[in-house]
Amino acid sequence: MHIGSTTVSLAGWGVDPRQPDQARSVRLAAIRQLVEGYRLSAVELDLDLGVIFPQVFDATFYAAVANLQQQLGFTCTAHLPFLWLDPSSLNEPVRQASVACLRQAVELVRSLDVTVYVLHLWGFTTIQIALLLADPAQRKAVLGGVMAQAGCSLAELCAILDPRDLCVENLEAPSFDLVLPLVERAGASICLDVGHLAYEQGDPLAFLARHGERVRHVHLHDYVHTSAGGRVQTRDHLPLGRGEMDYVNFMHHLQETHFDGVVILENNSRADLEESLARVKTFLS
C-alpha cells in the first residue's frame, strides 16, 4: 500500500499564467516536499492544470515531473480533468469535447509511469439531476440516458488506456449502483472517495466489502454531517481526526486485506495535510 497526497495541499489551486516558470517551480517543489519532506511514496497529479493552462503545464513540465519521478522513485497517479467537463452529457458535442479533453490529458503524461488514472464519469449537472429532480419517473429516464452516454465515454477511454488502470470515482450522487454495470462491462477499476460516499451516508468498509476486488485507489479525508432545515448536510476534505471517519479501523482493514493500491490524502492546505499525516504516520512505510 502506498500513501500519498495531491499537490493542491502545498501549491493550491491558483495559477498565474503570466508567470509560467514560477508556477512550474511551485508544483515541482511541492512534489519534492511531499516525497522527501513528508516521506510519502505517492503523488497524485491534477490534470485539470494541464488542459486549463496548457501554456504553463505543457509537455516540458511533465517531462520534468518524469525526471523527478525517476530521481525520487515515487508512485504517480493522475486525476483526469473534471472541471467544466461532463463525459455523461446528453448534449453530444459536450460529451465528445469532454472525452477529447480527457484524451489530451492522458497524452500529456505519457512520459510518466502512471499507476492509475482517476475519472469523474459525470459532471455537476448529473449530480443536480439526481438530487433535485423530484419526479422519480423523470429522474429515472434522464439518468438512464446519462448513463448510456457515460458508457460510451468509458468505452472510448478504455480504448487508449488499460481498463484496469482507469479508476471510476464514486461521486456525491447519483448512487454508484447506477454506474457499476458500466464499470464491470468495461473491466475498469474503482476509486473509493470516502468523503463522497459520506454524502450517501455510505460506510467505507461496506463499500470495500462489496467492491473490494475492483478498488485500486482511495481518496481519504474526513467529513462531518450536520442538520439544517431538516436536511442533512455533509462537509468533506477535512483533516483526519476532525470528523466522523473511522480512519484507524479503515487503514487497519486495508493492511489486513493486503491492499496494494494507493491511498491519497485529499486535503486542501498544508496545515490540514500535516494534521492528517500526524494521524497516519504509523501506517507510513
Q: pLDDT for 127-149, tens place per residue?
A: 888 777 777 888 888 889 999 99
pLDDT band at 98 (very low <50, low <70, confident <90, very high): very high
pTM equals: 0.94
Residues 101, 80 contacting (CB under 8 angstroms): no
Q: 2-283 in CATH: which number?
A: 3.20.20.150
Beta strands of the chain (E only): which ranges?
2-6, 42-46, 75-79, 114-119, 166-169, 189-193, 215-220, 222-228, 231-238, 262-265
Q: Please report, in angstroms and rounded to a whole number, the separation of the first and last CA atoms in the chain.
A: 9
pLDDT of residue 237: 84
Write the pLDDT tens digit of every residue in 146-186: 999 999 999 999 999 999 999 999 998 888 999 999 999 99
pLDDT of residue 193: 96
Write the pLDDT tens digit of every residue in 59-88: 999 999 999 999 999 999 999 999 999 999
pLDDT of residue 116: 98
174 upstream amide cis, omega within 30 of 0: yes
